[in-house]
Chain A
């Protein structure tokens, strides 16, 4: 049996770049960074913070910040896809990935218990902070009564969610899946734990340029929050309800390094990119743009550059490459979903997000970096995510014009 084509019919993003896809896409086209100093003197790291005013769905009493971000992104995606509230949809599923879950809620509970020595913990601390809380809220908001769960695979959670959503549609488990990622890690204990890992970019004169993927002077990643969701549906389902496709998922791949907890391998990402190309039925030269994982850590960037060279050859043969984390930071389990949506949007307009903050060339990161005003050679693109734990997710998409 021929497997169903998987179309993208709605997208939504809330990130450090703005409250929606439009504002974030504009910022990426202009190369404008959303990174600012975290507004706390003792934790003044460069961070990709979402303004409270941009979070327009959910209620603080009933939803952790991670869930409110997911609901906000989903309301945009659902509106674009023309999904309205109404009858339950038994053939529709939901997968919202998260790396860290409800940090706002769990930190508040631990502060009461350990900090204030109080046993009076808020009674909803467990259901608000659980890792599937965002999936639960999104499925309830849209009446998605088919399969649902959450993916938890560190920085690959959002990409894994979309890969799973596409796989459900291909396998016939669902006709429509609302999927993506959400994370809100910018709370004191989690920030402090990240600082202890010694991979965060330090505060300098200009925090907006703190994240410099693939640059020799890169100093680490910039922690961020945000969410992005996409509405995926089978071609048949989209046609039946006259939905307008923005793009198509052509290929997906997941591999595991099965190695070190935090140090990546070249082979894991290499295999993921090759399998995704095979799954899409495309040769490397059919790809116009790669949205790299590009965290701006020492380890990731040189490793990823080596993997891209393995698959695509020398820089002159490669697609255009950049990491939009330079502008919105590393939104953990939301990162892959945010980057996929921004790439889809820009490629559909004939752009490739430019590689910015690339101040000093690194001989270990020689890539065909995207430049302003240079469009991709095709409308097919690749989105990479490589998470702690050695969990890799790669998607190949094609945008509509």
Chain B
């Protein structure tokens, strides 16, 4: 799956979970900057796992700070899945 497609789906999931301006994620350095707290983040990971049919490992989830980090983790998880 292309990175752009992954990013678009992750973005849609975040917007479903949280009321945000359309460009909020692009302007912010971190997810926390747009008001995504620890519980929001757990919810978002749960929805991502459902949507993509993959698992985000606990050790990977701890390092997610920005929207880009999140997309990277999802992409890595999908690659791991297809390789395995």
Q: Which residues of A contact B (CB under 8 A)?
A: 61-62, 120, 122-124, 127
A120, B17: Cβ atoms closer than 8 Å = no
Chain A neighbourhood of B49, CB < 8 A: 120
10 other contacts beyond A120-B49, A122-B46, with CB at 8 A cut-off? A61-B17, A61-B43, A62-B39, A120-B46, A120-B50, A123-B42, A123-B45, A124-B39, A124-B42, A124-B43
Most buried by B among A61, A120, A123, A127: A123
In whole angstroms, what is the CA distance A61 to B49 when docked?
17
Give A120 to B43 CA distance when docked, in angstroms: 12
Contact sample, A vs B, 15 pairs, CB 8 Å cutoff? A61-B17, A61-B43, A62-B39, A120-B46, A120-B49, A120-B50, A122-B46, A123-B42, A123-B43, A123-B45, A123-B46, A124-B39, A124-B42, A124-B43, A127-B39
B50: chain A residues at CB < 8 Å are 120
A61 cross-chain contacts in B, Cβ below 8 A: 17, 43
User: Within B10-58, which residues are at the interface with A (CB < 8 Å)?
Assistant: 17, 39, 42-43, 45-46, 49-50
Query: Closest CB of chain A to B84's CB: distance in Å?
Result: 19
Chain A hits for B46, CB < 8 A: 120, 122-123
Give Cα A396–Cα B42 distance, bound, in whole angstroms: 46
A163 to chain B, nearest CB (A): 33
| Cβ distance A63 to chain B, nearest Cβ, rounded Å | 12
* CB-based nearest B residue for A121: B46
When C-beta atoms are compared, the residue in chain A nearest to B50 turns out to be: A120
Write out the residue numbers on chain B whose beta carbons fall within 8 Å of the beta carbon of A122: 46
Within the complex, what minimum Cβ distance (angstroms) separates A125 from chain B? 10
Cα(A62)–Cα(B39), bound, Å: 9
- Inter-chain CA distance A124–B17, complex, in Å, is 13
Q: How far is A274 from B39 in the complex, measured between Cα atoms in Å? A: 48
A196 to B: closest C-beta gap in Å: 33
Residues of the B chain whose Cβ atoms lie less than 8 Å from the Cβ of A120: 46, 49-50
Q: Closest Cβ of chain B: how far from A64's Cβ, in Å?
A: 14
Shortest C-beta distance, B50 to chain A (Å), equals 7
* Alpha-carbon distance A120/B39, docked complex (angstroms): 16
Instruction: Please give, as numbers and ranges, the residues of chain B lying within 8 Å of A127 by CB-CB distance.
Output: 39
Q: How does the 8 Å CB contact mask read for B46-81 relative to A, with 1 for contact and 0 for none?
A: 100110000000000000000000000000000000
Shortest 6 CB-CB contacts between residues of A and residues of B: A123-B42, A123-B46, A124-B39, A123-B43, A124-B43, A122-B46
What residues of chain A lie closer than 8 Å to B17, measured between beta carbons?
61
CB distance from B48 to the nearest CB of A (A): 12
Q: How far is the CA of A62 from the CA of B18 in the complex (A)?
A: 11
Q: Which residues of A contact B39 (CB under 8 A)?
A: 62, 124, 127
Q: Which chain A residue has the least Cβ–Cβ distance from B18?
A: A61
CA distance A123 to B49 in the complex (A): 12
Give the complex CA separation of A120 and B50 in angstroms. 9
B55's nearest neighbour on chain A, judged by CB, is A120
* Chain B residues, Cβ within 8 Å of A124: 39, 42-43
Chain B residue numbers with a CB within 8 Å of A123 are 42-43, 45-46
Shortest CB–CB separation between residue A154 and chain B, in angstroms?
Answer: 30
A122 to B49, CA, bound (A): 11
Chain A CB within 10 A, most for which of B17, B46, B50? B46
Docked CA distance A123–B50 (Å)? 12
**Closest-CB distance, B29 to chain A (whole angstroms):** 25
Give the shortest distance, in Å, between A123 (CB) and chain B (any CB): 4
The distance from the CB of B59 to the nearest CB of chain A, in whole angstroms, is 17
A124 to B39, CA, bound (A): 8
Q: How far is the CB of A307 from chain B (nearest CB, A)?
A: 46
In whole angstroms, how far apart are the Cα atoms of A69 and B56 in the complex? 34
A127 to B42, CA, bound (A): 12
A293 nearest CB across to chain B (Å): 38
Q: How far is the CA of A124 from the CA of B47 in the complex (A)?
A: 12
Which residue of A has the minimal Cβ distance to B44?
Answer: A123
CA of A127 to CA of B40 in the docked complex: distance in angstroms? 13
Cα distance A61–B44 in the bound complex, in angstroms: 12
The docked-state distance in angstroms from the alpha carbon of A127 to that of B37 is 15
Report A178 CB to chain B, min CB distance, Å. Answer: 23
Q: How far is the CA of A124 from the CA of B38 in the complex (A)?
A: 11
B37 → chain A closest CB, angstroms: 11
The CA of A61 and the CA of B16, in the complex, are separated in Å by 11
CA distance A122 to B47 in the complex (A): 9
Nearest chain B CB to A259's CB is how many angstroms away? Answer: 43
